[in-house]
Chain A
Amino acid sequence: MDSPIAQVLALIKELLDSLQAAVAPWLPSQQVPAYLAFALYVLMMLGGGLTAVGARNLVRAMMGLILTFLGVSGLYLLMASPFMAFMQLLIYVGAVCVLIFFAIMLTANVPGGQEAKLPGPGGALRGLAVFVAPLAVLGPLLVKHVPDLELALPEATPTSELGRGLIGEDVVPFELISIILLAAMAGAVFLAWRRRPEGRA
């Protein structure tokens, strides 16, 4: 005797299977979930990006940015690179967004924030032009010239191989990045250092 939950799950699975069987004749069945996931992630990216660019409240813009990061990490998962997806979440959502939040917190001294005023018609027009221009120039080029490669589906690269690459062929960029991070941190501390007023210990 199955538990009620198991029965409900079996019913749902049956329904999904029959739905898939009904749709299957029109569509290549294995690709459909992938395309659906792609559409979902791109929608997340688009919605988040529009919020990040257009929101008048900077905290809301940052929330849009987080949504975009989540969408991009989903796209990484779709490309079978889970390590990149986790790094995306760790570095961008975990570190960069916290930094941006600090920046908002340390500067928003105006009620409603410093971005509260809408851009004028000139600014909106410039923004629209800059938004459309790369799409209009690069989009058709991409559609036309990206080669139609017949490849097997990509498989996830083991993290050990990535690590071996870091200490192997890519060791120079790796070390350079560490120097850059050190320099950036030292520079940030130097810039943000508040000198004590004269005459006090």
Chain B
Amino acid sequence: MTALTLFFLASLLLLSLGLAGLVTRRTLVGMLISVELMLNGAGLALVAAAKCTAAPDVHGQLTALFVMGLAAAEATLVLAMILVVQRRFGHVKVDDMSVIQAE
């Protein structure tokens, strides 16, 4: 088994864990944590594909950096949404809310 396969398997593990968390968690905060796990797996796979193949190295690393930037932006927005939902419903349980509309 090559190093590339091993790193890909590690990122696949992160993807599976994140998906399982996304399904089983009941609050928005828990789901945010799971999404961060999956995004980490994506970054890991990108860097592995850049470093362990003959592909240009810089591109892969920069793409993984962009994924990190997107993850940060997404976490910011989700935090704001969690704040809004908390104010409106008094909780952030996903099963108990169906409408998120501005007053």
Chain B hits for A138, CB < 8 A = 12
Given contacts A92-B36, A138-B12, A142-B9, contact A114 B69 (CB under 8 A): no
B63 CB, min distance to chain A CBs, angstroms: 8
Given A142-B5, A165-B59, A91-B72 contact (CB < 8 Å): yes
Tell me the number of A-to-B contacts counted with CB atoms below 8 Å.
Answer: 241
A180 to B67, CA, bound (A): 12
User: Which of A50, A61, A72 is B40 in contact with, Cβ under 8 Å?
Assistant: A72
**A-B interface, 3 closest residue pairs, ranked by CB to CB distance from nearest:** A53-B21, A184-B73, A188-B80
Instruction: List chain B positions with a Cβ less than 8 A from chain A.
Output: 1-2, 4-10, 12-30, 32-34, 36-37, 40, 43-44, 47-48, 50-54, 57-59, 61-66, 68-84, 86-87, 90-93
- List residues of A whose CB falls within 8 A of some B CB: 38, 41-42, 45-46, 49-50, 52-53, 58, 61-62, 65, 68-69, 72, 75-76, 79-81, 83-84, 87-88, 91-92, 95-96, 99-100, 102-104, 106-107, 109-110, 114-115, 117, 119, 123-124, 126-128, 130-135, 138-139, 142-143, 146-149, 151, 154, 157, 161-162, 164-166, 169-170, 173-174, 177, 180-181, 183-185, 187-192, 194
